Amino acid sequence: MSDVDVDGLVKQLLADVPPDSNDAATFLGAQFDAGLAWVHLPQGLGGLGLPRSTQGVVDEALMAAGAPRSFNTNPIGYGMAAPTLRAYATEADLARFLRPIFTGEQIWCQMFSEPGAGSDVASLSTSAVRDGDEWVLNGQKVWTSLAHVASWGLIVARTDPSKPKHAGLTYFFLDMQSAGVDVRPLRQATGDAEFNEVYLTDVRIPDTQRLGAVGEGWKVAITTLMNERVSIGGRVNPRGEGSIADAVRVFRENGRPPEYADRLMQLWVRAEALRLTNIRAREQAKAGADAGPEGSTAKLGDAELNQDIYDFCVDVSGADGLLFPMTYTPPEGQRTRSRTGRDHRYSYLRSMANTIEGGTSEVMRNILAERVLGLPPEPRVDKDMPYSASPR
């Protein structure tokens, strides 16, 4: 379909469903039906069978027109669930899930981390025991963003404790309304409760909701994690926008104190260097490259820069920076969060999670050291040990 008039399709979409007079779900549904959601996918699955690079043309035109973005509506569904499903799900499941994921009508969450398995996710203990055509899950997950509003969740569980920890895992997708699923919100320093702990008690999942082969859950999980890091760190804002715009605004509002000018310029240079790096990674993705270690680079750089920017904002504000805004009301049941445009004192508190969520900065550095620089891996004494025999 190389002769498709993509520009014409975009113009027709904007004319038929003006973004300023339609809600996000309606517009995104029309975008999906027009094949402009993921243009490289087949027709009927949100695409047109075109080169992946064409998506950038579509996205830029829609963004310029003020159209809603699927990532903002359903960040985990769009950034993590959809790529994993596309890699491992059946055609029937793709037809069932991709459209409501793109429109945000089905919010998704990701259940990997556990109280005893954070940075070392492969040491998780949630079990899945086969019972005929079903699996019975028991265990606890934690730090599960949007679980309180999610329709579906991605989950990794241990199906064979006699094998080494990476080899005994299997990957599933779970209806969050299933019997035995108990979601409990966790209140954060900001006052929000955007993530949760999830308890699983005799939760039954049909084998048809397994992604990948039994025992290959780690392989599938890597697909999710690589796309997660790209979605967290790989955003490409226009020059001077995003978090750095908050730093400039706060600097101006506080009289442009000269003693902070050099520090602001250093942050600006870092923000621009990261933006250009992300543009390069985006161009590789447009050319058809799968998510790789560059996602870890983007995630690491974005997380630490974001913290430094809001640390600067608080410092520039002086004593006022120590006061949490009294007019702030925590948004109960929020689906998404904005990275910018909020009070910088709120953003400072929220940024503390950036170097933990989606993989800690320490984990990102290990990935880059081993997979990009070729440095020797850290010693892993339990790598080939049966999970049941490893110390915990």
Helix 54-64 with 261-286: angle, nearest 10 deg = 130
Bridge partners for 379 per DSSP = none
Under 8 Å between Cβ of 203 and 181:
yes
List 114, 194, 197, 228, catalytic entry: 228
**Of 296, 302, 293, nearest in space to 351 by CA:** 302
The helix (run of H) or strand (run of E) holding residue 170 is strand 169-175
**Of 311, 312, 340, 350, nearest in space to 242 by CA:** 340
DSSP classification of residue 376: P
C-alpha to C-alpha distance for 129 and 131, rounded to whole angstroms: 6
Under 8 Å between Cβ of 138 and 120:
no
Under 8 Å between Cβ of 247 and 313:
yes
Instruction: Please confirm, yes or no, whether 228 is among the known catalytic residues.
Output: yes
DSSP reduced 3-state for 133: coil
Tokens standing for 182?
A: 């108990």
DSSP reduced 3-state for 339: coil
Residue environment code for 365-379, b if the CB has 16+ CB neighbours within 10 A, otherwise e: ebbbeeeeeeeeeee
| Residues known to be catalytic | 228
